[in-house]
Amino acid sequence: MAPVTHDLVIVANRLPVDRETLPSGRKVWRRSPGGLVTAIEPVMRTHGGGVWIGWPGGAGQKLKPFEDDGLSLVPMSMSQDEIEGHYEGFSNATLWPLYHDLVAKPEFHREWWDEYVKVNRRFAEKAAELAAKNATVWVHDYQLQLVPQMLRDLRPDLRIGFYLHIPFPPAELFQQLPWRRQLLEGLLGADLVGFQLPEAAANFVRLVRQRVGHKTHRDLVYLPDGRTVRAAAFPISIDSAGFEELARSGQVVQRAKEIREALGNPRRIFLGIDRLDYTKGIYARLRAFSELMRDGHLDVEDAVFVQVAVPSREQVEQYRILRDDIERLVGRINGDLGRIGRPAISYLHTSYPRDEMAALYRAADIMVVTPYRDGMNLVAKEYVACRVEEDGALVLSEFAGAAEELKQAWLVNPYDINGMKSALLDAYAAEPKELTRRMRAMRKTISQHDVKAWAASFMTELEDVGGHTKNPRPATRS
To ligand F6P, the closest distance from the beta carbon of 163 in angstroms equals 10
CB of 341 to ligand F6P, least distance (A): 35
- Judged by beta carbon, residue 84 or residue 365, the one nearer ligand F6P is 84
From candidates 33, 75, 194, 343, binder to ligand F6P by CB under 6 A: 33
| Nearer of residues 36 and 286 to ligand F6P, judged by Cβ | 36
Task: Choose one: 30-38, 424-432, 451-459, 468-476; the region binding ligand F6P (CB under 6 A).
Answer: 30-38
- Give how many residues touch ligand F6P by CB under 6 A: 11
Residue 165: CB minimum distance to ligand F6P, A? 4
Nearer to ligand F6P, 14 or 387 (CB): 14
- Three-state secondary structure of the chain: CCCCCEEEEEEEEECCEEEEECCCCCEEEEECCCHHHHHHHHHHHHHCCCEEEEECCCCCCCCCCEEECCEEEEECCCCHHHHHHHHHHHHHHHHHHHHCCCCCCCCCCHHHHHHHHHHHHHHHHHHHHHEEEEEEEEEECHHHCCHHHHHHHHCCCCEEEEECCCCCCCHHHHCCCCCHHHHHHHHCCCCEEEECCHHHHHHHHHHHHHHHCCEEECCEEECCCCCEEEEEECCCCCCHHHHHHHHHCHHHHHHHHHHHHHCCCCCEEEEEEEECCCCCCHHHHHHHHHHHHHCCCCCCCCEEEEEEEECCCCCCHHHHHHHHHHHHHHHHHHHHHCECCECCEEEEECCCCHHHHHHHHHHCCEEEECCCCECCCHHHHHHHHHCCCCCCEEEEECCEHHHHCCCCCEEECCCCHHHHHHHHHHHHHCCHHHHHHHHHHHHHHHHHCCHHHHHHHHHHHHHHHHCCCCCCCCCCCC
Among 34, 56, 167, 235, which residue sits at the site for ligand F6P (rule: CB under 6 A)? 34
Please, which residue, 365 or 450, has the CB nearer to ligand F6P?
450
Cα–Cα nearest to 370, from 442, 435, 273: 273
Q: How far is the CB of 99 from ligand F6P (least distance, A)?
A: 10
Q: Which is nearer to ligand F6P, 33 or 466 (CB)?
A: 33
Q: Pairing relation of β-strands 71-75 and 66-68?
A: antiparallel
What does the per-residue mask of binding to ligand F6P show for 282-321, with x meaning CB under 6 A?
Answer: ------------------------------xx--------
Nearer to ligand F6P, 305 or 399 (CB): 399
**Residue 14 in the binding site for ligand F6P (CB under 6 A):** yes
Least distance (Å) from ligand F6P to the CB of residue 9? 17
Rounded to 5 degrees, φ, ψ at 318 are -60, -35
Is 36 a binding residue for ligand F6P by CB under 6 A? The answer is yes
Nearer to ligand F6P, 40 or 420 (CB): 40
Read off φ and ψ for residue 115, nearest 5 degrees. Answer: -70, -35
Residues 143-182 that bind ligand F6P (CB under 6 A): 165-166
Which of residues 365 and 374 has its CB atom nearest to ligand F6P in the complex? 374
Identity of the residue, 96 or 347, whose beta carbon is nearer to ligand F6P in the bound complex: 96
- Region binding ligand F6P by CB under 6 A among candidate stretches 32-40, 43-51, 216-224, 464-472: 32-40
Q: Which is nearer to ligand F6P, 32 or 149 (CB)?
A: 32
CA dihedral 458, 463, 464, 467 (to 10 degrees): 150
Burial of 29 (0-12, 13-18, 19+ CB in 10 A): middle
Residue closer to ligand F6P by CB (options 101, 391) is: 101
Q: Stretches 31-39, 68-76, 108-116, 296-304: which one binds ligand F6P (CB under 6 A)?
A: 31-39
> Among the candidate windows 28-36, 236-244, 344-352, 448-456, which touches ligand F6P by CB under 6 A?
28-36
Residues 56-75 that bind ligand F6P (CB under 6 A): none
From 141, 244, 382, 450, residue interacting with ligand F6P (rule: CB under 6 A) = 141
Of 29-37, 247-255, 424-432, 464-472, the window that binds ligand F6P (rule: CB under 6 A) is 29-37
Contacts (CB under 6 A) with ligand F6P, residues 258-287:
none
Pairing outcome for strands 192-195 and 215-217 = unpaired
Using CB under 6 A, pick the residue from 35, 85, 97, 194 that binds ligand F6P.
Answer: 35
By beta carbon distance, the residue nearest ligand F6P is: 34
| Residues at the contact surface with ligand F6P, assessed by CB under 6 A | 13-14, 33-36, 141, 165-166, 312-313
